[in-house]
Amino acid sequence: MKAVIANDHGAVDLAARIVRHLKERGIDVTYLGTDKEESVDYPDKAEECVNEYRKGGYDFGVLLCGTGIGISISANKMKGIRCALPQTRYSAEMTKRHNDANFIAFGGRVEYSEDPVEILDAYIDATFEGGRHERRISKMMALEGR
């Protein structure tokens, strides 16, 4: 597997933890984030990460900012991106199984009730179910640009 990851200044520690974890899982990581707490604009990081993902060869992307909200909204503005912001393992699993999300986002300043690394693992380990969900994803993606 191969992943691309980017973060702004609001998620430096969590991004470093996720990168380490993915590498420990044997996942090839392209890291485009910042390791400094100096201000970086999350829309710029989302765009950089999505553009790298679009080059091909990546299984998924991970985006992080202070809450995960701004960076996920930014990514979702870009054609072909389905970036989820799950708060639990269950929602992470379902976003892959039912929505075939190609990006997942986290907040570095969020106090999660479940470990974000475990949430990420649930997403990675899930498989898209296809079937009726393909029709719904097609409808979802047809909304782009409206």
pLDDT per residue, tens digit, the chain (146 aa), is 999 999 999 999 999 999 999 999 999 999 999 999 899 999 999 999 999 999 999 999 999 999 999 999 999 999 999 999 999 999 999 999 999 999 999 999 999 999 999 999 999 999 999 999 999 999 999 999 88
Taking the C-alpha atoms of residue 97 and residue 95, their distance in angstroms, rounded to an integer, is: 6
Strand partners, 63: 6, 105
Taking the C-alpha atoms of residue 119 and residue 103, their distance in angstroms, rounded to an integer, is: 13
Confidence at residue 141, expressed as pLDDT on a 0 to 100 scale: 95
Confidence at residue 145, expressed as pLDDT on a 0 to 100 scale: 80
List domains and CATH numbers for the chain.
Answer: 2-142 (3.40.1400.10)
Encoded tokens for 142: 């047809």
Confidence at residue 134, expressed as pLDDT on a 0 to 100 scale: 96
Taking each helix axis from N to C end, the angle separating 12-24 and 116-125, rounded to the nearest 10 degrees, works out to: 40
Catalytic residues: 65, 98
- Cβ–Cβ < 8 Å for 9, 40: yes
State the residue for tokens 């996920």. Answer: 72
